[in-house]
Structure 1
Amino acid sequence: MCGRYAAAKDPATLAAEFDAYDATEDHAPPADHNVAPTKDVVAVVQRHPRDDDGKADDSRTERSLRVMRWGLIPAWAKDRSIGARMINARSESAATSNAFKTSLAKRRCLLPADGWFEWKKEGGHKQPFFMTRPDGRSLALAGLWTVWRDPKEKDGPPVVSTAVLTTAAQGQLADIHERMPLIMTPQRWAAWLDPDAEEVDGLLEPSLELIEELELRPVSSKVNNVRNNGPELVAREEPAAELDDPKLF
């Protein structure tokens, strides 16, 4: 699964990395080393541009950075609280889910991340790990998005929200947790973001090569508290040795 990640790069850096233009304006969230559900996040989308009358130009597309709320609120939802339970979408069932099937076909995005956190059960506690690229490049988490309007406030602003697609953990990640976010390699970005491609089954398989390149870094348990933030949360911190470790005697 994916319940927490880090996203500390500024929009200008992300725009260059993802070959997109920055449409976040002054709404981009600040550097965040402990992104939690319901927070605003930066997403990459590719859409047909529209003129002043709202008519789409079907002859071309534009890739841009947008701000979304993490936790997808389906268009049919009566209130936004459901989004807190919709932070992840299972890739195996998204195509048949009432909450995600339309977004999988028509509204896909990438969520840039420095890495994500997962907790491994070790003895009587859970050890947090930070999954990241050793070269510092962003990971592109496959995401879905949609637009929701509050039925009680018909004239209120729309809420654009997103969910992370997850899949069964592969390779070395299977030792940490049984689920993992679906990560898109740069070679898949264009096909995944293509707003005219509704069949994406071939893109839902994880890239084993990229998975094996990841660093699985043990980090401080401070990340467990969503109120904690800062680069120290992604710094390597080796687990404390158990008192019954025979090497200590």
Structure 2
Amino acid sequence: MCGRFTLTATPDQVALFMALVELEDFPARYNIAPTQPILMVIAGEAREPGSNLPDRRALLVRWGLIPRWAKDPKSLPLLINARSETAEERGTFKAALRHRRALIPASGFYEWKTVGKEKRPFFLKPRDGGIVAFAGLMETYADPNGSEIDTGAILTTAASADIAGIHDRMPVVVHPQDFARWLDCRRLEPRDVADIMRPPEPGLFDAIPVSDLVNKVVNVGPEIQERIVIEALPVVETPKSVKPRPPAKKDDGQFSLF
């Protein structure tokens, strides 16, 4: 699962990483939450001959996919994630996986580890710094009044071996060499890109324990990514067995004054 992520790279850095011709300015975002706008990159129209850049288009979409067939979006759960293993079989995501695959630039994501009754947040950031691209699905929903809204979800997969101790799911990471294949919905079907929807190699992310400031969407500053020291759970020692006292000797009255 991915319920929060971050994009703190500059627009120029994102444009270079995603091979975009242009990208509008945007602020650093440290705590992106469901229903908020997120940046997605999709394939565009064919570029003019002679261009040395692929044709890609960036747009803002609502994080939380609404299928085109939905009559009442309020009756649906909030679809922020789609399981890559079953997306092709589900009517909710099937069309988007075939026709509207997207890339979501990110500087990392947050996950929570269950320890006893606690949920401890971790910031998972690329070990080498920079940006990663999550696999996304996009859908344009038209309400009964005719207004349209672009919506999207993040595809997830089983966590890599080094992250599984925190959570069993994580976003699908698309490497730059696979961008073109992933976005090519004209020629490539889901089965042709199934190899991309797998756990990444261990060591791609560093796991940084952070405070519970990230739990609240109103906290949007860089302080939520500061490393904290995790206190070890108290060790309760098992009491040593106590040998029973020997029974008191029967008083024969020898030392009694009466």
TM-score by length of 1: 0.85
Partner of 2:241: none
Partner of 1:31: 28
What amino acid maps onto 1:171 in structure 2?
A: A
Partner of 1:45: 42
Preserved contact between residue 2 and residue 181 of structure 1 (Cα < 8 Å): yes
Partner of 1:136: 129
Q: Residues 218 and 125 of structure 1: is their aligned pair in 2 closer, same or farther, counting only changes over 3 Å?
A: same
The CA deviation at 1:44 is 1.3
Structure 1 residues 221-241: Cα deviation after superposition (integer angstroms, max 9, x where no partner): 110111111111112112134
Q: SS in structure 1 opposite 2:41?
A: strand
Question: Max radius of gyration: which structure?
Answer: 2
What amino acid maps onto 2:231 in structure 1?
A: A
What amino acid maps onto 2:33 in structure 1?
A: A
More helix by share: 1
The equivalences for 1:62-141 within 5 A come to 62-81=55-74, 85-141=78-134
The CA deviation at 1:213 is 2.7
Residue 22 (1) aligns with residue 22 (2): yes
5+ residue gaps, structure 2, are 48-52, 238-258
Partner of 2:152: 162
Partner of 1:185: 175
Residue 11 (1) aligns with residue 4 (2): no
Residue 172 (1) aligns with residue 162 (2): yes
Whole-angstrom CA distance in 2 between matches of 1:159 and 1:189: 25
5+ residue gaps, structure 1, are 51-59
Preserved contact between residue 19 and residue 54 of structure 2 (Cα < 8 Å): no
Aligned residues: 230
Preserved contact between residue 37 and residue 84 of structure 1 (Cα < 8 Å): no
Q: Residues 83 and 141 of structure 1: is their aligned pair in 2 closer, same or farther, counting only changes over 3 Å?
A: farther
RMSD: 2.3
TM-score by length of 2: 0.82
Q: Residues 163 and 120 of structure 1: is their aligned pair in 2 closer, same or farther, counting only changes over 3 Å?
A: same
Preserved contact between residue 40 and residue 102 of structure 2 (Cα < 8 Å): yes
Structure 1 residues 138-159: Cα deviation after superposition (integer angstroms, max 9, x where no partner): 11111000111111x12x2x11
- Mean CA deviation greater in 76-85 or 90-99: 76-85
Identity %: 40
